[in-house]
């Protein structure tokens, strides 16, 4: 059962209002004062005069970024493109531009990639997950989904597409990947929350105007039984 993060509060408010209205109409003569219910207080804004600096050019991981150093892909599909070469080129470029700030990529990603060998799959110690090909942009051409595991918990999720003949990163997300699901042009990222029985789900879909996988919705979902390994909550102690 998914619980919308924002819409749930509105639905609850309408449900409470409907209940109160129905009760009042059913027994008008029996209405009685319940006493002082307390004062309603407006939200208190914290640190209202302090605002973050805007991101400098090239420091926003939510923008499309052609990956430098890779040959053109005239066919428009990521099928046949070496996934490890793509991740290496992207992480190397992002690390150089990031200068250790961690905005574009975790500083450990480049160190972890050094464990990959020249083998097709990168070898047994390579932290790059097996690539998944799926059409997320709706152009009939396959895109590439992969991730770099950083420390046994955090991962750098990366999605690449061919745009104007060039390999382009269309999603970068650092997350605890409790689950990743694809369906049509949607990609859902499941992450554990501070509540052990709930996971959060970030739903991304292709936005042709911005050229990226844009955040389309946030929901909460109850943890599945342990036998369902695709949606079960990740252990909080790991």
- SS3 of residue 174 by DSSP: strand
Residue 23: the pLDDT is 46
The total of other beta-carbon atoms located within 10 Å of residue 230's CB is: 10
pLDDT tens figures, 12-43? 343 433 444 444 444 545 556 666 666 777 88
List Cα–Cα distances, 178 to 2, 66, 89, 157, 231, in angstroms: 16, 28, 26, 12, 7
Residue 91: the pLDDT is 96
Report whether pLDDT(238) > 70. Answer: no
pLDDT tens figures, 46-92? 999 999 888 777 777 788 999 999 999 999 999 999 999 999 999 99
111 membership: H or E segment, kind and range: helix 108-113
- SS3 of residue 157 by DSSP: strand
Residue 132: the pLDDT is 97
Residue 55: the pLDDT is 77
CA distance 213 to 136: 8
pLDDT tens figures, 152-192? 899 999 999 999 999 999 999 999 999 999 998 899 999 99
Q: Give bridge partners of residue 187 from the DSSP assignment.
A: 182, 204
Residue 5: the pLDDT is 53
């Amino acid at each position: 059962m998914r619980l919308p993060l924002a819409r749930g509060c509105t639905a609850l408010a309408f449900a409470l209002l409907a209940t109160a209205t129905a009760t009042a109409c059913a027994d008008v003569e029996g209405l009685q004062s319940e006493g002082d219910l307390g004062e309603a207080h407006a939200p208190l804004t914290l640190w209202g005069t302090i605002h973050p600096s805007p991101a400098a050019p090239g420091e926003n991981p939510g923008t499309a970024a052609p990956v430098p150093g890779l040959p053109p892909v005239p066919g428009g599909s990521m099928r046949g493109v070496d996934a490890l070469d793509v991740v290496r080129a992207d992480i190397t470029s992002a690390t150089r531009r990031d200068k250790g700030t961690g905005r574009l990529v975790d500083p450990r990603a480049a160190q972890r990639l050094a464990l990959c060998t020249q083998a097709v799959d990168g070898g047994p110690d390579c932290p790059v997950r097996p690539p998944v090909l799926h059409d997320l942009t709706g152009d009939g051409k396959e895109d590439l989904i992969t991730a770099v595991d950083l420390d046994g918990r955090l991962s750098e999720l990366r999605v690449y597409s061919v745009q104007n003949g060039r390999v382009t990163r269309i999603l970068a997300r650092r997350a605890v990947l409790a689950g990743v699901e694809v369906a049509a042009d949607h990609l859902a990222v499941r992450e554990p929350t501070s509540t052990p029985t709930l996971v959060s789900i970030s739903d991304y879909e292709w936005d042709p105007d911005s050229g990226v996988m844009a955040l389309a919705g946030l929901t909460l979902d109850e943890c599945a039984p342990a036998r369902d390994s695709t949606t079960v909550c990740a252990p909080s102690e790991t």
